[in-house]
Structure 1
Amino acid sequence: MKLTQEQIEQFNKDGFLLIRNFANKELCDEILQKAKIHLENKVEPIESEQEYQRVQDTTVTVRRLRQVYDREKVFQDWMTNKEIRPMLKQLLNDTPVLTLAHHNSIMTKMPKDSTRTTWHQDRRYWNFENDDLISVWLSLDEEYLENGLLEFIPGSHKIDLKKEQFDETISFKDDLPENKELIKNAVHYNLNKGDIVLFHCKTLHHANKNETNNAKISFVYTVKAQNNKFIKNTRSDFKEIILEED
C-alpha cells in the first residue's frame, strides 16, 4: 500500500497521519488476547505507573510491556507488516528500519490506576544521528478522550523548541505562557479498532488518564531511515530489523 501525495503532504505539514481501518479486526483481537496474558502475569520487562510517576510504591500497575518483538509471533508479524513498508519508505525517503531499543511496546491506560501522559516529544528516547523517526500506533479497540486518547499539536515537529520549555524529565512544561499558546492548537481524533496513526518523533503529544472502567490497550513501534545510524554506546545501540520491500 502506498500513500497519496496528499497524505504525504499532510504528514509533512502536521507531523502525524491517521489511516482508518488499516489492520483487520481479527489481527487486533489476536494481539489483544496475547497482550492481556502478558499484562495479567506482569511479564518482564515492563514499565509501571509507579516508575513513570517516580514514586515509591509496592503496587505495580503495568503501563507498558517493553520489548514485545520477541514475545509473540503475532507481535512480530505486525511490526514487520509488508503492507505498511511502502508508506514508511515514502515518508522516510529511505528503507525503513525497525529499531527495537524503545517504543517496541504494548501501551496501556488501566482503569482508575492510570496517570496522565505529559506533553512530550518521543525524540527523548533515542540517540541517532538525526531525529527522522516515525512511530506506528495501532488502536486495538476504541480510543477516545475519556480513556486516554492521544492528542497532537499539528506542526510542532517543525518548531525550534528551546531547552527551557521542557522540565528535568524532558516533558513539555504546560504552565509556561508560550507553551500554553501551542497547546491551544491540540487536536484529537477518536480511534476505532484497526486504525493506525503515524507520527514524527518530534511531534508534541500527550494523553489523559483513563476515566472509564475498561483498560485501553494499544501497540506502538518505531522505524528510522536506514541511513540514520545509532550513536554507539547509547541505548539506541541495539538490535534492528531492516524492512526491505519484496
Structure 2
Amino acid sequence: MKLSQEQIDEFNSNGFLLIRNFASSELCDEILQKAKYHLENIIEPIESEQEYLRIEDKNNITVRRLRQVYDREEVFKQWMTNKEIRPILKQLLNDTPVLTLAHHNSIMTKMPKDSSRTTWHQDRRYWNYENDNLLSVWLSLDDEYLENGLLEFIPGSHKIKFEKEQFDETISFKDNIPQNKQLIKQAVHFNLHKGDIVLFHCKTLHHANKNNTSKPKISFVYTVKAKETKPIKGSRSEFKEVILD
C-alpha cells in the first residue's frame, strides 16, 4: 500500500495521519488476546500507573504499558514488521524505515478507574537522536473515544519552535499558561475503531484523558526512524534496531 500525495501533504502539514481499517480484525483480536495474558500476569518489563504518578505502592500495581513487546510474542513482532506498511513509512520518512526498539515498542493501556491522564507532550522529549525524522504507529485494537482515553492532537505543532518555559520539569507541555492554552484550543480528535492506525510525528503534541468507562482500553504503539537518523552515542536511544527493507 502507498499513500496518495494528498495523504503525504496531510501528514506533513498536521503532523499526523489516520488510516482506517488497516489491520484485520483477526490480527487485532490475536494481539489483544496475547496482550491481556501479559497484562493479567504482570509480565515484566512494564510501566505501572504507580510508577508514572511517582507513587510508592508495591502492593497495588496497575499496568500502564507493557514494554519491549517486540521480543514477547511472534504476533507482536509480525505486526511491527508488517510488509504492507513499509512503503507508507518509507514515503513519510523519505528513507528506509528502521524500528527503534528503545522507544515505544509497547502495549499501552487505560484501565478503568485506575488510569491516569496523559499530559500534553512531544514523544521526542525523552529521545536522543541527531534529527527529528521519526514517527510512531498507533494501532487501535478496539473502539477508542474521548471517554476511554482517546488520543488528541494539535495540528501543525511538530513545526513550531517552542520555548523551554512552555514545558514543565517533566518536559510536559504546560496547559495552564496563556500561550499554551491558545494552542490547546486547536486540538482535534477522531474516534478510532478496531484496525485503524494513526501515524504521528515525534514532535506532534498529543495527550489523552483517563479512562472513565468500565472497560480497559488497550492499544499498540511502536516507533520508526529514518535509516539516516542516528542515535546519539551513549544515550538510551542507542539500542537494538530492526531495518525494514
Match of 1:227 in 2: 228
1:150 paired to 2:144: no
Percentage of identical aligned residues: 80
Q: Which amino acid aligns with 1:173?
A: K
The residue aligned with 1:167 is 168
4+ runs deviating over 3 angstroms: none
Residues of 1 paired with 2:171 and 2:32: CA distance?
Answer: 31
Long gaps (5+) in structure 2: none
Letter in 2 for 1:175: N
2:199 maps to what in 1? 198
> Secondary structure in 2 aligned to 1:217?
strand
Q: What code does the residue aligned with 1:179 have?
A: N
Aligned to 1:13: 13
Q: Can you list the C-alpha shifts for 1:42-84, whole angstroms capped at 9, x where unaligned?
A: 0000000011111222311000000000000000000000000
Aligned: 1:63 with 2:58:
no
Alignment match, 1:34: 34
Distance 1:164 1:51 in 2: 25
How far 1:152 sits from its partner (Å)? 0.2
Aligned mates of 2:54, 2:181 — CA distance in 1: 25
1:125 CA displacement? 2.5
Q: What CA deviation, in whole Å up to 9, does each residue of 1:121-177 have, x standing for no partner? A: 000131110111100000000000000000000000000011110000000000010
Cα RMSD over matched residues? 0.5
CA distance in 1 between partners of 2:159 and 2:228 (Å): 21
Aligned match of 2:239: 238
**Distance in structure 2 (CA, Å) of the matches to 1:162 and 1:148:** 28
What is aligned with 2:3?
3
Counterparts of 2:220 and 2:42, CA distance in 1? 16
Hey, what's the Cα distance between the residues in 2 that align with 1:179 and 1:132?
24
- Aligned length in residues: 244
Compute the TM-score of the two structures, normalised by the length of structure 2.
0.99
CA apart distance, 1:232:
1.0
Equivalent position of 1:212 in the other structure: 213
Distance of 1:56 and 1:241 partners within structure 2: 35
Task: Tell me the CA shift for residue 235 of structure 1.
Answer: 0.4
Partner of 1:53: 53
Inter-partner Cα distance in structure 1 for 2:43 and 2:56? 20
Inter-partner Cα distance in structure 1 for 2:44 and 2:88: 32
**Aligned residue in 2 for 1:130:** 131
SS at match of 1:97: strand
